[in-house]
Amino acid sequence: MLKLILEAFISISGITAASGIVYHDNQLHIVSDNSNYIYSYHLTDQKLSKTALQQSHPMESVAKADKLDLESITFDGNHYYLYGSGSTNNRNNRFIWDGKTIIKEDYSKIYTFLMETFHISKEDFNIEGVVHLKDKILFFNRGNGPQGINAVLEYHPSAMDQSRCIPILLPKLNGITTGFSDATLVGDDIYFIATAEDAKSTYLDGEIGGSILGKLPSDLSTKAETFEIPEKHKFEGITLKEKTDEELVFLLCEDSDSDDDNLTIYSLKVSN
Protein backbone atom coordinates (compact mmCIF):
# COMPACT_ATOMS: atom_id res chain seq x y z
CA MET A 1 0.00 0.00 0.00
CA LEU A 2 1.49 3.31 -1.07
CA LYS A 3 1.59 6.32 1.23
CA LEU A 4 0.56 9.62 -0.38
CA ILE A 5 1.37 13.06 1.04
CA LEU A 6 -0.10 16.10 -0.74
CA GLU A 7 1.31 19.59 -0.16
CA ALA A 8 1.08 22.97 -1.88
CA PHE A 9 4.32 23.48 -3.83
CA ILE A 10 4.11 26.88 -5.53
CA SER A 11 1.57 29.49 -6.64
CA ILE A 12 1.77 30.99 -10.13
CA SER A 13 -0.19 34.09 -11.09
CA GLY A 14 -1.47 34.35 -14.64
CA ILE A 15 -2.80 30.87 -15.46
CA THR A 16 -6.34 29.52 -15.20
CA ALA A 17 -7.73 26.04 -15.93
CA ALA A 18 -4.40 24.20 -16.02
CA SER A 19 -4.80 20.87 -17.79
CA GLY A 20 -1.28 19.50 -18.32
CA ILE A 21 2.20 19.95 -16.91
CA VAL A 22 5.81 18.88 -17.62
CA TYR A 23 8.77 19.47 -15.31
CA HIS A 24 12.14 19.69 -17.04
CA ASP A 25 15.42 21.50 -16.36
CA ASN A 26 14.00 23.39 -13.35
CA GLN A 27 11.11 24.71 -15.39
CA LEU A 28 7.40 23.97 -15.47
CA HIS A 29 5.70 23.90 -18.86
CA ILE A 30 1.93 24.13 -18.52
CA VAL A 31 -1.05 24.03 -20.87
CA SER A 32 -4.51 25.34 -20.13
CA ASP A 33 -7.66 24.03 -21.76
CA ASN A 34 -9.02 27.55 -22.33
CA SER A 35 -5.84 29.18 -23.65
CA ASN A 36 -3.91 29.20 -26.93
CA TYR A 37 -0.55 29.54 -25.17
CA ILE A 38 2.00 27.23 -23.64
CA TYR A 39 3.21 28.67 -20.32
CA SER A 40 6.74 28.29 -18.97
CA TYR A 41 7.64 29.04 -15.37
CA HIS A 42 11.30 29.15 -14.29
CA LEU A 43 11.43 27.98 -10.69
CA THR A 44 14.71 29.73 -9.84
CA ASP A 45 13.82 33.11 -11.33
CA GLN A 46 10.12 32.74 -10.48
CA LYS A 47 9.21 34.22 -13.85
CA LEU A 48 6.34 33.24 -16.13
CA SER A 49 6.55 33.44 -19.92
CA LYS A 50 4.15 32.28 -22.59
CA THR A 51 4.39 31.21 -26.22
CA ALA A 52 1.50 31.62 -28.65
CA LEU A 53 0.51 28.41 -30.38
CA GLN A 54 -1.39 30.21 -33.14
CA GLN A 55 -0.19 33.68 -34.09
CA SER A 56 -3.58 34.55 -35.54
CA HIS A 57 -5.37 33.67 -32.30
CA PRO A 58 -3.05 34.24 -29.30
CA MET A 59 -5.90 34.38 -26.79
CA GLU A 60 -6.60 33.46 -23.20
CA SER A 61 -9.96 32.72 -21.60
CA VAL A 62 -11.22 31.39 -24.92
CA ALA A 63 -14.95 30.63 -25.07
CA LYS A 64 -15.77 26.94 -24.52
CA ALA A 65 -17.16 26.51 -28.04
CA ASP A 66 -14.01 27.95 -29.65
CA LYS A 67 -11.15 26.71 -27.49
CA LEU A 68 -8.46 24.26 -28.61
CA ASP A 69 -9.09 22.27 -25.41
CA LEU A 70 -5.46 21.29 -24.90
CA GLU A 71 -5.63 18.56 -22.27
CA SER A 72 -2.19 17.00 -22.41
CA ILE A 73 1.47 17.89 -22.75
CA THR A 74 4.23 15.29 -22.92
CA PHE A 75 8.00 15.48 -23.46
CA ASP A 76 10.22 12.98 -25.29
CA GLY A 77 13.57 14.50 -24.32
CA ASN A 78 13.72 16.81 -27.33
CA HIS A 79 10.24 18.09 -28.10
CA TYR A 80 7.06 18.93 -26.22
CA TYR A 81 3.82 17.56 -27.67
CA LEU A 82 0.49 19.23 -26.90
CA TYR A 83 -2.75 17.43 -27.72
CA GLY A 84 -6.33 18.58 -28.07
CA SER A 85 -8.98 16.41 -26.47
CA GLY A 86 -10.73 15.49 -29.72
CA SER A 87 -14.11 15.98 -28.05
CA THR A 88 -15.30 18.43 -30.75
CA ASN A 89 -14.15 19.10 -34.32
CA ASN A 90 -12.00 22.12 -33.42
CA ARG A 91 -10.14 20.16 -30.71
CA ASN A 92 -8.22 17.84 -33.02
CA ASN A 93 -4.84 19.59 -33.11
CA ARG A 94 -1.40 18.49 -32.03
CA PHE A 95 1.33 21.06 -31.46
CA ILE A 96 5.05 20.26 -31.37
CA TRP A 97 7.37 22.71 -29.60
CA ASP A 98 11.17 22.55 -29.29
CA GLY A 99 11.39 25.58 -27.02
CA LYS A 100 11.50 27.97 -29.97
CA THR A 101 9.41 26.85 -32.93
CA ILE A 102 5.77 25.73 -32.97
CA ILE A 103 4.52 23.14 -35.48
CA LYS A 104 0.76 22.59 -35.76
CA GLU A 105 -0.62 19.28 -36.99
CA ASP A 106 -4.18 18.27 -37.80
CA TYR A 107 -4.74 15.07 -35.83
CA SER A 108 -8.35 14.51 -36.88
CA LYS A 109 -7.55 11.52 -39.14
CA ILE A 110 -5.74 9.72 -36.33
CA TYR A 111 -8.49 10.49 -33.82
CA THR A 112 -11.07 9.28 -36.35
CA PHE A 113 -9.06 6.08 -36.89
CA LEU A 114 -9.07 5.44 -33.13
CA MET A 115 -12.80 6.08 -32.81
CA GLU A 116 -13.75 3.92 -35.78
CA THR A 117 -11.33 1.08 -35.00
CA PHE A 118 -12.40 0.78 -31.37
CA HIS A 119 -16.08 1.71 -31.84
CA ILE A 120 -15.95 4.84 -29.67
CA SER A 121 -18.57 7.45 -30.48
CA LYS A 122 -17.74 11.15 -30.76
CA GLU A 123 -19.68 11.69 -27.53
CA ASP A 124 -17.42 9.23 -25.70
CA PHE A 125 -14.07 10.31 -27.18
CA ASN A 126 -12.09 12.59 -24.86
CA ILE A 127 -8.28 12.37 -24.74
CA GLU A 128 -6.95 13.68 -21.41
CA GLY A 129 -3.47 12.18 -21.19
CA VAL A 130 -0.80 11.06 -23.65
CA VAL A 131 2.40 9.06 -23.15
CA HIS A 132 5.00 8.59 -25.89
CA LEU A 133 6.86 5.29 -25.94
CA LYS A 134 9.52 4.13 -28.41
CA ASP A 135 7.25 2.85 -31.17
CA LYS A 136 3.77 3.80 -29.98
CA ILE A 137 1.63 6.47 -28.41
CA LEU A 138 -0.72 5.78 -25.53
CA PHE A 139 -3.88 7.91 -25.45
CA PHE A 140 -5.84 7.96 -22.20
CA ASN A 141 -9.55 8.34 -22.94
CA ARG A 142 -11.58 9.82 -20.12
CA GLY A 143 -14.80 7.97 -19.40
CA ASN A 144 -17.05 10.97 -18.86
CA GLY A 145 -19.18 10.32 -21.92
CA PRO A 146 -22.49 8.42 -22.04
CA GLN A 147 -20.82 4.98 -22.11
CA GLY A 148 -18.14 5.77 -19.51
CA ILE A 149 -15.22 4.48 -21.59
CA ASN A 150 -12.04 4.73 -19.53
CA ALA A 151 -9.47 3.15 -21.82
CA VAL A 152 -5.89 3.33 -23.00
CA LEU A 153 -5.75 3.53 -26.79
CA GLU A 154 -2.39 2.12 -27.90
CA TYR A 155 -1.60 3.64 -31.29
CA HIS A 156 1.20 2.30 -33.50
CA PRO A 157 1.99 4.97 -36.15
CA SER A 158 4.09 2.63 -38.32
CA ALA A 159 1.93 -0.48 -37.81
CA MET A 160 -1.61 0.76 -37.36
CA ASP A 161 -3.08 -2.77 -37.45
CA GLN A 162 -1.26 -3.47 -34.17
CA SER A 163 -3.12 -0.68 -32.38
CA ARG A 164 -5.36 -1.82 -29.56
CA CYS A 165 -7.82 -0.58 -26.95
CA ILE A 166 -7.37 -1.62 -23.33
CA PRO A 167 -10.37 -0.78 -21.09
CA ILE A 168 -9.33 0.22 -17.56
CA LEU A 169 -11.61 -0.28 -14.59
CA LEU A 170 -11.41 2.73 -12.26
CA PRO A 171 -13.02 3.12 -8.83
CA LYS A 172 -15.62 5.59 -7.63
CA LEU A 173 -14.89 8.40 -5.20
CA ASN A 174 -17.67 9.62 -2.95
CA GLY A 175 -20.12 7.76 -5.16
CA ILE A 176 -18.84 9.46 -8.34
CA THR A 177 -17.15 7.53 -11.14
CA THR A 178 -13.56 8.56 -11.89
CA GLY A 179 -12.14 9.25 -15.34
CA PHE A 180 -8.61 9.63 -16.66
CA SER A 181 -7.16 13.16 -16.51
CA ASP A 182 -3.44 12.70 -17.28
CA ALA A 183 -0.53 10.24 -17.26
CA THR A 184 3.27 10.22 -17.17
CA LEU A 185 6.00 7.65 -17.72
CA VAL A 186 8.34 6.70 -14.85
CA GLY A 187 10.82 4.02 -15.90
CA ASP A 188 8.78 1.02 -17.04
CA ASP A 189 5.63 2.20 -15.27
CA ILE A 190 2.93 4.69 -16.06
CA TYR A 191 1.46 6.78 -13.27
CA PHE A 192 -1.88 8.36 -14.04
CA ILE A 193 -4.40 10.55 -12.33
CA ALA A 194 -8.16 10.32 -12.62
CA THR A 195 -10.82 12.67 -11.30
CA ALA A 196 -14.33 12.15 -10.02
CA GLU A 197 -16.64 14.66 -11.66
CA ASP A 198 -20.41 14.23 -11.62
CA ALA A 199 -21.13 15.03 -15.27
CA LYS A 200 -21.83 12.47 -18.00
CA SER A 201 -20.46 14.77 -20.66
CA THR A 202 -17.11 15.34 -22.40
CA TYR A 203 -18.15 19.00 -22.73
CA LEU A 204 -19.72 20.15 -19.45
CA ASP A 205 -18.23 20.41 -15.96
CA GLY A 206 -19.78 18.85 -12.86
CA GLU A 207 -19.44 18.42 -9.11
CA ILE A 208 -15.90 17.44 -8.08
CA GLY A 209 -15.52 14.35 -5.89
CA GLY A 210 -11.71 14.17 -5.71
CA SER A 211 -8.85 12.50 -7.57
CA ILE A 212 -6.91 9.24 -7.55
CA LEU A 213 -3.37 8.22 -8.45
CA GLY A 214 -2.96 5.05 -10.47
CA LYS A 215 -0.12 2.83 -11.66
CA LEU A 216 0.13 0.62 -14.76
CA PRO A 217 3.03 -1.20 -16.42
CA SER A 218 3.91 0.49 -19.71
CA ASP A 219 3.12 -2.73 -21.61
CA LEU A 220 -0.38 -2.64 -20.06
CA SER A 221 -0.03 -6.30 -19.06
CA THR A 222 -1.68 -6.08 -15.63
CA LYS A 223 -4.57 -4.32 -13.95
CA ALA A 224 -4.23 -0.81 -12.59
CA GLU A 225 -3.44 -0.13 -8.95
CA THR A 226 -5.22 2.94 -7.62
CA PHE A 227 -4.86 5.12 -4.53
CA GLU A 228 -6.99 8.03 -3.34
CA ILE A 229 -5.23 11.41 -3.29
CA PRO A 230 -5.84 13.39 -0.07
CA GLU A 231 -8.31 16.29 -0.16
CA LYS A 232 -10.84 17.01 -2.89
CA HIS A 233 -9.16 18.42 -5.99
CA LYS A 234 -9.78 18.14 -9.73
CA PHE A 235 -6.22 17.33 -10.74
CA GLU A 236 -5.69 17.57 -14.49
CA GLY A 237 -1.92 17.28 -14.92
CA ILE A 238 0.90 15.15 -13.50
CA THR A 239 4.68 15.20 -13.99
CA LEU A 240 7.60 13.59 -12.18
CA LYS A 241 9.89 15.95 -10.25
CA GLU A 242 12.12 13.62 -8.23
CA LYS A 243 12.80 9.90 -7.98
CA THR A 244 14.81 8.18 -5.23
CA ASP A 245 14.95 4.64 -3.90
CA GLU A 246 12.57 5.68 -1.13
CA GLU A 247 9.98 7.85 -2.88
CA LEU A 248 8.63 9.54 -5.97
CA VAL A 249 7.69 13.21 -5.99
CA PHE A 250 5.11 14.30 -8.55
CA LEU A 251 3.86 17.78 -9.33
CA LEU A 252 0.15 18.16 -9.97
CA CYS A 253 -1.90 20.98 -11.47
CA GLU A 254 -5.63 21.41 -11.21
CA ASP A 255 -8.58 22.96 -12.97
CA SER A 256 -10.76 24.58 -10.34
CA ASP A 257 -13.50 25.43 -12.89
CA SER A 258 -13.22 29.10 -11.88
CA ASP A 259 -11.78 32.31 -13.37
CA ASP A 260 -9.10 32.58 -10.67
CA ASP A 261 -5.73 33.13 -12.38
CA ASN A 262 -3.64 32.17 -9.34
CA LEU A 263 -2.65 28.59 -10.05
CA THR A 264 -1.45 26.38 -7.20
CA ILE A 265 0.93 23.58 -8.13
CA TYR A 266 0.92 20.70 -5.62
CA SER A 267 3.58 18.17 -4.77
CA LEU A 268 2.52 14.57 -4.21
CA LYS A 269 5.05 12.42 -2.37
CA VAL A 270 4.58 8.70 -2.93
CA SER A 271 6.36 6.08 -0.84
CA ASN A 272 5.86 2.51 0.33
Q: Which residues, at least 6 apart from 94, have a Cβ–Cβ distance to it below 8 Å?
A: 81, 82, 83, 84, 104, 105, 107
Query: Can you give the pLDDT at residue 194?
Result: 97
Decide if 244 is inside a domain: no
Determine phi and psi for 224, rounding to 5 degrees. -75, 140
Decide if 266 is inside a domain: no
Decide if 247 is inside a domain: no
CATH code, domain with 209: 2.120.10.100
What burial class does residue 220 get, using C-beta atoms within 10 Å of its C-beta: 0-12 exposed, 13-18 middle, 19+ buried? middle
What burial class does residue 21 get, using C-beta atoms within 10 Å of its C-beta: 0-12 exposed, 13-18 middle, 19+ buried? buried
Please, which pLDDT band fits residue 16 given cuts at 50, 70 and 90? confident
Give SS3 for 189.
Answer: strand
Please report the DSSP string for 61-111 in residue order.
S--TTT---EEEEEE-SS-EEEEE--SSGGG-EEEEE-SS-EEEEE-HHHH
pLDDT tens-digit map of 193-217: 999 987 654 445 557 789 999 999 9
Average pLDDT in the 100-112 region? 96
Contact by Cβ (8 Å): 141, 153: yes
pLDDT tens-digit map of 77-87: 999 999 999 98
Decide if 99 is inside a domain: yes
- Alpha carbons 107 and 113: distance in angstroms, whole number: 10
pLDDT tens-digit map of 156-173: 999 999 999 999 999 999
Contact by Cβ (8 Å): 192, 141: no
Please, which pLDDT band fits residue 66 given cuts at 50, 70 and 90? confident
Name the residue range of residue 86's domain: 20-235
Decide if 3 is inside a domain: no
Give SS3 for 209.
Answer: strand
- Alpha carbons 186 and 180: distance in angstroms, whole number: 17
pLDDT at 57 exceeding the cut of 90:
no
pLDDT at 58 exceeding the cut of 80:
no
Contact by Cβ (8 Å): 128, 85: yes
Query: Can you give the pLDDT at residue 258?
Result: 65
pLDDT at 235 exceeding the cut of 80:
yes
pLDDT at 236 exceeding the cut of 50:
yes
Provide the pairing of β-strand 137-141 with 127-132: antiparallel
Contact by Cβ (8 Å): 126, 142: yes
Query: Can you give the pLDDT at residue 257?
Result: 64
Query: Can you give the pLDDT at residue 203?
Result: 44
The number of distinct structural domains making up the chain is: 1
Decide if 93 is inside a domain: yes
- Best CA proximity match to 68, nearest among 94, 49, 48, 50: 94
Decide if 242 is inside a domain: no
Decide if 250 is inside a domain: no
pLDDT tens-digit map of 30-49: 999 889 999 999 999 999 99
